[in-house]
Amino acid sequence: MTTKTCTKCGDDKDRETEFYHNKKTGAVMAQCKACWKAFRKNSWHNNPQTKKTYKEYYGRNKDTINARARELRAQKRTGDE
């Protein structure tokens, strides 16, 4: 078992199960999953500008976003990637 130290909480945790991995490069995030989830939750709930920006972007690009989602779902069903 290889360990890695989280840059946020400072705990040594299992590198394979406690950190998110980039599937393409194999890189591991600096923050553990628990710290990253807490950061994302707090940044979303405590920053009204984030919600406003997301809603504006979605409103402008709704058709493109939905088309891409349909395409990805179809690929997943057929097994193409």
The residue that leads in pLDDT, 58 or 1, is 58
On whether the CB atoms of residues 2 and 15 are closer than 8 A, the answer is yes
Q: Which residues, other chains included, contact 13 with Cβ-Cβ below 8 Å and sequence gap of 6+? A: 3, 4, 5, 6, 19, 32
3 and 36 housed in the same domain: yes
Write out pLDDT tens, residues 31-64.
Answer: 999 999 999 888 878 888 888 998 999 999 999 9
Q: Kindly report the CA angle at 38 between 50 and 3, in degrees rounded to 5?
A: 130
27 and 55 housed in the same domain: no
State the total domains in the chain.
2
Strand partners, 19: 32
Q: Which domain holds residue 20?
A: 1-40
Q: Which residues, other chains included, contact 30 with Cβ-Cβ below 8 Å and sequence gap of 6+? A: 6, 7, 8
